[in-house]
Structure 1
Amino acid sequence: MRVWAVANQKGGVGKTTTTIALAGLLADAGKRVVVVDLDPHGSMTSYFGHDPDALEHSCFDLFLHQGNVPQGLPQELLLPTSHERIALLPSSTALATLERQSPGQNGLGLVIAKSLTQLWQDFDFALIDSPPLLGVLMVNALAASQQLAIPVQTEFLAVKGLERMVSTLAMINRSRKQALPYSIVPTLFDRRTQASLSTLRALRNAYPEQLWPAYIPVDTRLRDASRAGQTPSQFDAKSRGVIAYQALLKHLLARLPASQVA
């Protein structure tokens, strides 16, 4: 199984849409995918028709065992989605309390990595949607992952958020055996606006090695897919947004180490 995280310390940049779009395209290609919602807001859980305020069990349950994960628990928590090849490890609002509970507990940073180990033979890919906050949940997402996508909205303030995310990644990498490879993904690009054009130029100048050379455009069909509870490629496989995400997926797959290529 390959594990990817989608993260940024700024909200509203397209993390959930990116996670679901990539998962949908992988599933369309016949891959078995588990998506992990680590955001207490539960946007991805809601996207697939589950209420994070009403769920009795969620990813929160994984953190209740002193850093250990009982055998079989991750499988028990899986919920269905609109795509038969995508399963969901859902979020709940209880995750928001985790930061207050975590001080003094050892091993909480590896809970998701341990949980995914139990799902290793059941899925080809795991995609993690992480919260826009540096804490135990984002640390879990980054610690479990083999590759990271950082969506960045193409507007001025987003560049500052990216700087914080890159600093966080440098800190995380100091505790990893291997540095986590990452790709910066420009999102919500509108070629009609000066803000989008100038921000894209700034990203290309500042991060020439890490920046995916294309971008995800503003596309109302992505919002329509969310309203329908379908992956973007299920909803409209020929939309501009889906075509862009196909190019992004090809880029991410090309960056896989040889040992991870199926």
Structure 2
Amino acid sequence: MVVWTIANQKGGVGKTTTTVTLGALLAQRGHRVLLIDTDPHGSLTYYFGIDAEELEVSVYDIFLRGKDITGEEILQSMCPSGMPNLDILPTSMALATLDRSHGQQGGMGLILKKALQKIENDYDYVLIDCPPVIGVLMVNAMAACDRILIPVQTEFLALKGLDRMIATMQLMHSSSPQDYAFTIIPTMYDKRTKASLDAYKALKAQYQDRVWSAVIPIDTKFRDASLAQTPPPVFAPKSRGVFAYNTLLTYLLQLAPEN
């Protein structure tokens, strides 16, 4: 099982779109894929037409029960996505209370990692969609993964948000033996604007080989797919955005998880 965490402390940079699109492309390639929504706002959950507040079980129950939850119970928490090979572990608004109610509890940072170990033979890839804030949820998602994918909108305010994200990773590394492998993904690139070009150049200059060499362009098909509650590779398989994510996926699959 390979685990990718999609994270950035800035919202609106394409985290959920990246999670859904890469997950669907992996599923189309025949891999068994699980998408986990750790954002209390539930964008990933609602993307697939799942009403988080109508569910009896969600990812919140994994944090609530910790080491006591079984692999079978975790699997029973999954929701179908509507396409083969792709399952969803939905969120709950109750996750928003987790830092306050359980944040100081010992071992809270490794609950998700230990839970995934119980189902490691059931999925080939797990993609975790994170909230745009540092806290116990992002800490869990980062501790559980082999690689962090950081979508960054190609505009200068988003670059400042990336600086904070990298600083957070360095801070977490200083208190943990884990070294975080990460890939920066330029998103929402508009080749018609000088601002996008300049931001991309600045991104490459500062982070060099940590930045994927291509870009995810602005594509209205992403918005249309979201409205249709259908993954972009199913909704618009020939769109330029899906083509870009396919190229990204090929690149990521060539990287060893530990690199």
Tell me the TM-score range normalised by the shorter chain: over 0.9
Q: List per-residue Cα deviations over 1:127-179 (Å, max 9, x = no partner).
A: 00011000000000000000111000111100111001101111222344441
Q: Which amino acid aligns with 1:124?
A: D
Matches of 2:172 and 2:255, distance apart in 1: 20
Partner of 1:208, secondary structure, is helix
- Report the counterpart of residue 172 of structure 1 in structure 2: 172
- The separation in 2 between residues aligned to 1:3 and 1:98, in whole angstroms, is 22
CA distance in 2, matches of 1:55, 1:130: 20
Structure 1 contact 142–172 (Cα < 8 Å) conserved = no
1:56 positional shift? 2.8
Contact 1:82 1:231 in 2 (8 A): no
SS of 2:52's partner is coil
Q: Corresponding residue for 1:159?
A: 159
Give deviations 1:168-225, integer Å, cap 9, x for gaps. Answer: 1112223444412111000011111222111101101101020001110000111111
Whole-Å separation in 1 of the counterparts to 2:32 and 2:148: 19
Letter in 2 for 1:215: V
Counterpart in 2 of 1:70? 69
Listed as ranges, the matches of 1:68-217 within 5 Å are 68-71=67-70, 72-217=72-217
Alignment correspondent of 1:48 = 48
Q: Tell me which moved more, 194-203 or 47-56.
A: 47-56
Give me the whole-angstrom Cα distance separating, in 1, the residues matched to 2:175 and 2:237. 40
Preserved CA contact (<8 Å) 2:38 2:129: yes
- Structure number having the greater helix percentage: 2
| Residue 30 of structure 2: aligned partner | 30
**Higher mean C-alpha deviation, range 141-150 or range 102-111:** 102-111
Q: Counterpart of 2:209 in 1: which secondary structure?
A: coil
What residue number does 2:222 align with? Answer: 222
Whole-Å Cα distance in 2 between the matches of residues 158 and 53 of structure 1? Answer: 32
- Comparing 50-59 and 209-218, the one that deviates more: 50-59
Q: Tell me the distance in 1 between the aligned counterparts of 2:141 and 2:47.
A: 20
Say if 2:7 is the partner of 1:3: no
Whether the aligned pair in 2 keeps the contact of 1:9 and 1:162 (CA below 8 Å) is yes
Structure 1 pair 192/34, CA: closer, same or farther in 2 (3 Å)? same
Q: Measure, in 1, the Cα distance between the counterparts of 2:208 and 2:107.
A: 36
Number of residue equivalences:
258
**Per-residue displacement from partner, 1:101-140 (whole Å, max 9, x unpaired)?**
1243111111111111111111100000011000000000
Look up the equivalent residue of 1:225 and give its one-letter code: A
Q: TM-score, normalised by structure 1?
A: 0.95
Which is worse superposed, 221-230 or 243-252? 221-230
CA distance in 1 between partners of 2:180 and 2:226 (Å): 30
Task: Give the whole-Å Cα distance in 2 for the aligned partners of 1:147 and 1:43.
Answer: 22
Tell me, in whole angstroms, the C-alpha distance in 2 between the residues paired with 1:7 and 1:45: 16
Query: Which deviates the most, 172-181 or 77-86?
Result: 172-181
- What secondary structure does 1:97 align onto? helix
Residues 103 and 136 in structure 2, CA contact (< 8 A), matched pair in contact too: no
Instruction: Report if the CA contact (8 A) 2:8-2:15 is conserved.
Output: yes
Mean Cα deviation higher: 159-168 or 55-64: 55-64
Give the aligned residue type for 1:193: T
Once superposed, what is the RMSD of the aligned Cα atoms? 1.4
Give the TM-score of the pair, scaled to structure 2: 0.96
